[in-house]
Amino acid sequence: MLAFATEPFAELEPEARPLTAAHWREVEAQLHGNTNYGLDAQRYAQLEKLGMLHVSAARTSNRNLAGYAAFTLVSCPHRQGMLLAALDGLYLAPQARGGFTALQLLRHAEAALKQRGAGLVQYSSPASRPCDALYRRLGAHHTETIWHKELR
């Protein structure tokens, strides 16, 4: 059984490094040309100091980090006065998957984000791992498709 909590990035960063690297290898590398991954912990720390970062952590009964849902918070440029929480990363270690774990983690995150004043959550998922069913179960609606192009 997993427990969910809001945790400061500064405190969970050392534990998060192996998970973020696994996340990259498993999900993102194939979409980005297998480039090397490096967690920009300094940037996350800056966002946290500015009050623009939220991390919900999933922990095992022995307090090991088993997953995370990280969001950036910004004023929504299209809806004046609305604080937007955009999903930056969602990952559960393979042993933590199954059942409704991801759903429970995101519900925890949504409740915490609402307490922080967020009025809109933006979910995304890689093309290789669509999360449509999960997001629909949360009550989210498909509103746009995102494409990336590297400028070289």
CATH of the domain at 81: 3.40.630.30
- Say what the pLDDT of residue 20 is: 85
Which segments of the chain have a pLDDT < 70?
Answer: 29, 31-36
Residue 145 lies in a domain: no
Total of domains in the chain: 1
Cα distance between residue 152 and residue 147, in whole Å: 16
- Say what the pLDDT of residue 151 is: 87
Residue 146 lies in a domain: no
- Say what the pLDDT of residue 1 is: 83
Residue 100 lies in a domain: yes
In 2-151, where does DSSP find H-type helix?
9-23, 41-49, 101-115, 132-137
Domain that holds residue 90: 3-137
Q: What is the pTM of this model?
A: 0.90
Residue 21 lies in a domain: yes
Residue 142 lies in a domain: no
Residue 151 lies in a domain: no
- Say what the pLDDT of residue 24 is: 79
